[in-house]
Amino acid sequence: MTQLGTETNPLRVAIIGAGPAGFYAAEHLLKQNDVAVQVDMFDRLPTPFGLVRGGVAPDHQKIKSVTKVYDKTASDPNFRFYGYVELGRDVSLDDLRRFYHQIIFTTGAQTDKKLGVPGEDFPGNHPATEFVAWYNGHPDYRDLQFDLTQEKAAVIGVGNVAVDVARILSRTADELAKTDIADYALEALSQSKVKEVYLIGRRGPAQAAFTTPEIKELGEMEDADCIVLPEEAELDPLSKAALEQSTDRSLLKKVELMQEYSRRGRTSKKRVLVIRFLLSPVEILGSMEEGVKGMKLVKNELYSTEAGTLLSRPTDQIETLECGLVFRSIGYRGVPLPGVPFHEKWGTIPNINGRVVKSQDSQEQVIGLYTAGWIKRGPSGVIGTNKPDAVETVNMMLEDMKNGITIGPEQPDRDAAAAFIKAKQPRCISYNDWLTLDEIELKKGEAIGRPRLKFTKIEDMLTAVKK
């Protein structure tokens, strides 16, 4: 056999998960001038793009145009897509080891963190991740129900996901109709009775995880006011001191915006979004029969750690917030993959710079396995953050290849792999199939003046491409 990474013996790589991290890893692998690489990308859904399709808010269409870059990567003759093929259900890790020298896991973070307070299981208390997947038309979540007859809803957490959820709850039907929100979600949200939405942060305005453009957008909604309580927009002495030393202009702008919102009163707009600070839920009120009725919240104060980070701790002041819907948005969490090491506490695959290790403690490399994106580093950063992250992993892969540290597959042959995968999942989807689905969605959207009308049922997607 000739040297690995040459035209006659290309490096064969399987990428599990067709989100941004997977595509950035593919892009970097395929642009190597001195190494011949073939990439096969798998996704359990027939559609690619992970959170760009199922997570990015539907009223943020511009962000979604990043998929043009992924289309370009997918047009490389050395790239193949196997949609609707799930690791564990259709193919096993040992199956993949027969066909690939290296395997990268880029499966993101599919579940969420829990609050760990009493009442968390009451109907009406939902993970924000599920609401996001529902309104974005993710087939696994399309049948969920959210009781939008409630007038008051609360979102726990003040990250950008919490802001997305609060904004989608506050938008008018007309605003939502301009987006690619799932058709059933548009219908349900058009009938929504929600009038008051509360965003609840455990620390203060200067520590909020949301970013400035996202918070500015909240102040510009068609029929919803965005307000902050004056006493909560006022910085405590520790935050004030920290801000005075900060050179982060975006942070200063964010705090200024919070203070501006605190000077705004209610207008004649139908809805109100209230951002609250220094509060933590200690109990969800209600019952299994009647669902969520409200939340008991403890007022927090800030203290400084030795490292200078300002954290929250509870005081003895308790308040009750009446609400019939709660969305917890306190961070996504990865799920384990069959046969792949997993760090239970962090919800990530243990790795060193992208090289999978047996456990975080052992540091022993699992030959041929790599990871990138949220399942590698945890759920942080924006879409673009996944690019350098994936490049780091690919550089480790190329270094290992040069040092002869790869899986020794029995059949490193793309046609043998294709035949095997098709035998295991005859209805698998190619990238051309996806482009057909994409075109149908765009055309259907155009016909009704929307950017896209999404397929939300797997069976409909497969039928549309005659699978």
Which residues make up the interface to ligand NAP (CB under 6 A)?
A: 115, 156-162, 164, 201-203, 207, 209, 214, 280, 329-332, 379-382
The Cα 264–Cα 465 span in angstroms is 52
Closest CA to 255 of 207, 318, 192: 207
- Nearest to ligand NAP of 15, 275 (CB atom): 275
Write down the least CB distance from residue 440 to ligand NAP, Å.
Answer: 27
- Nearest to ligand NAP of 158, 340 (CB atom): 158
Write down the least CB distance from residue 280 to ligand NAP, Å.
Answer: 5
- Nearest to ligand NAP of 36, 165 (CB atom): 165
- Nearest to ligand NAP of 5, 201 (CB atom): 201
Write down the least CB distance from residue 413 to ligand NAP, Å.
Answer: 39
For ligand NAP, which residue has the nearest CB? 159
In the numeric block, the tokens 């040069």 are attached to 402
Write down the least CB distance from residue 281 to ligand NAP, Å.
Answer: 7
DSSP state, residue 178: T
End-to-end Cα spacing for the chain: 37
Write down the least CB distance from residue 396 to ligand NAP, Å.
Answer: 23
- Nearest to ligand NAP of 43, 164 (CB atom): 164
* Chain centroid offset of residue 316 CA: 35
- Nearest to ligand NAP of 280, 351 (CB atom): 280
Q: Exposed (0-12), middle (13-18) or buried (19+): which is 41, by Cβ within 10 Å?
A: buried
Contact 252/212 with Cβ under 8 angstroms?
Answer: no
Write down the least CB distance from residue 64 to ligand NAP, Å.
Answer: 11
Contact 81/48 with Cβ under 8 angstroms?
Answer: yes
3-state SS, residue 257: helix
Write down the least CB distance from residue 157 to ligand NAP, Å.
Answer: 3
- Nearest to ligand NAP of 110, 207 (CB atom): 207
Closest CA to 411 of 201, 100, 2: 100
Contact 57/164 with Cβ under 8 angstroms?
Answer: yes
Angle between helix axes 249-263 and 237-245 (nearest 10 degrees) is 140
Write down the least CB distance from residue 228 to ligand NAP, Å.
Answer: 15
Per DSSP, what are the bridge partners of residue 299? 279
- Nearest to ligand NAP of 48, 204 (CB atom): 204
Write down the least CB distance from residue 344 to ligand NAP, Å.
Answer: 17
C-alpha neighbours within 13 Å on the C-beta side of residue 277: 26
* Chain centroid offset of residue 4 CA: 35
The Cα 256–Cα 324 span in angstroms is 31
The Cα 376–Cα 372 span in angstroms is 5
- Nearest to ligand NAP of 154, 421 (CB atom): 154
